[in-house]
Amino acid sequence: RKEVEQDPGPFNVPEGATVAFNCTYSNSASQSFFWYRQDCRKEPKLLMSVYSSGNEDGRFTAQLNRASQYISLLIRDSKLSDSATYLCRTGNQFYFGTGTSLTVIP
Amino acid sequence: NAGVTQTPKFQVLKTGQSMTLQCAQDMNHEYMSWYRQDPGMGLRLIHYSVGAGITDQGEVPNGYNVSRSTTEDFPLRLLSAAPSQTSVYFCASSYQGNSREQYFGPGTRLTVT
């Protein structure tokens, strides 16, 4: 099993919708988690770090479920500018998931 | 701060040629790593370094060499380029290891013909 797994999507949602992605991880000892955003042909940039149960930043919420070993990213009131690929990583390794593609449609 | 810089931005090689992808960071980060990204494959770890003089292999190390003689620089060497190494290469650095967020360079787009 891979260290980190993500649903590749694509997720196509209308503007204003709420969308959630999950990222499952295999190492139960993981203590920190990261969501990155990657725009087409650009480098990944940190969106959110999670060191406890979750984190919230404006329209973005990350929730950690240790029992089921996944971390979710919730985006509320989706904007066209949220269209990107979202990558997750656990803190005990340098390995990333394959990323989830989101397209927000007008 | 310039952050993480990578050169060149684009490169075309012929099969069998060698080259070095440069990566430098000015944030005094201990940890640096190299990834390649192919369509549908996400970021795959090639090599990483936990400090000057210390390197280790990632998921896909074959065909690549690294060294870390200074904290700032972490070059990636392709010894004999193959078409399978056509990819986008990203360098990243972090403070205090993999439990902290990484900062990425802008990437090098490599094509091997």
- Check pLDDT > 90 for residue B93: yes
Which of B41, B90, B99 minimises the CB distance to A43? B90
- Partner A, chain B 49-68, Cβ-Cβ below 8 Å: 58-59
How far apart CA A15 and CA A12 sit, in angstroms, is 10
Percent of chain A with pLDDT over 90: 75
Backbone angles phi and psi of B19, in degrees to 5: -165, 165
Burial of B2 (0-12, 13-18, 19+ CB in 10 A): exposed
Report chain B's mean pLDDT, rounded to a whole number: 94
Q: Which helix (H) or strand (E) holds B48?
A: strand B42-51
User: Residue A63 to residues A20, A43, A79, B67: CA-CA distances in angstroms?
Assistant: 10, 24, 21, 38
Distance from CA of A44 to the nearest CA of B (A): 7
- Check pLDDT > 70 for residue B98: no
User: What is the pLDDT, as a whole number, of residue A18?
Assistant: 97
SS3 of B93, please?
Answer: strand
Q: How confident is the model at residue A7 (pLDDT cuts 50, 70, 90)?
A: confident
Q: Which of B37, B57, B91 to mutate to test the interface with A (most CBs of A within 10 A)?
A: B37
Residue B87 CA from chain centroid, whole number: 12
Q: How confident is the model at residue B69 (pLDDT cuts 50, 70, 90)?
A: very high
Cβ distance of A92 and B98 shorter than 8 Å: yes
How far apart CA B113 and CA B57 sit, in angstroms, is 26
- Number of alpha carbons in the 13 Å side-chain half-sphere of residue A51: 4
Closest chain A CA to residue B56: A94
Residue B53 CA from chain centroid, whole number: 16
Closest chain B CA to residue A39: B106
